[in-house]
Each structure stands twice: as C-alpha cells, then as structure tokens.
Amino acid sequence: MQLVNPLEQQNAVKTLYSEFVSPVCAKYGLTRIELDILLFLANNTRYDTATDIVEVRFLAKSQVSAAIKNLEARGCLRREYQL
C-alpha cells in the first residue's frame, strides 16, 4: 500500500482547480478571488455577507472587501444593508 502525502495531494487539487478556473476568469475579466466569491455565494445561499465569506472561506477581510467592491461596480453583486 502506497501512502499519499496530504500536502502533495492538496497542491495537486489546487493546481487542477486553478487550471479549471483560469479560462473562466480570463473570459469574464475576473480575478480568482472575485470568481471564488461568486461561486461561494451561488453555492451557499445561507452565507450572504462579507463576514460570512471571510469566516467560512478563511480569506483576508481586505481582499474580500476589495473584490466585493469591484464586483458591485461591475454589476455582478448588489449590496443590501440590514437595519
């Protein structure tokens, strides 16, 4: 039985994912984090705030904020404020 190094396996998955999403990013002029946020929101409807994205995806708050601002400016997202 051959043991698989978890770090090598994780890197292989990341590389494969990157190869898959790169053409989509190029086609629509999105950064990787912008596409990740759109996919996350589409697939996780109960998580719909920037805080959710930061906490669940373990992304930097500054990166999420900048990506959301760009997506909003392009009309890909709409911000709604809760009272």
Tens-place pLDDT, residues 8-38: 999 999 999 999 999 999 999 999 999 999 9
Q: Does any domain span residue 1?
A: no
The pLDDT score that the predictor gives to residue 82 is 77
Task: Report residue 41 as tokens.
Answer: 């929101």
Asked if pLDDT for residue 41 goes beyond 70, the answer is yes
pTM: 0.83
The pLDDT score that the predictor gives to residue 4 is 77
The pLDDT score that the predictor gives to residue 3 is 72
Domain hosting residue 25, numbered range: 7-73
Q: Does any domain span residue 41?
A: yes
CA dihedral (10, 12, 15, 20) positive or negative: negative
Q: Does any domain span residue 65?
A: yes
Q: Does any domain span residue 29?
A: yes
Q: Does any domain span residue 39?
A: yes
The pLDDT score that the predictor gives to residue 1 is 64
Q: Does any domain span residue 80?
A: no
Residue at token pair 């990506």: 67
Total tally of structural domains belonging to the chain: 1
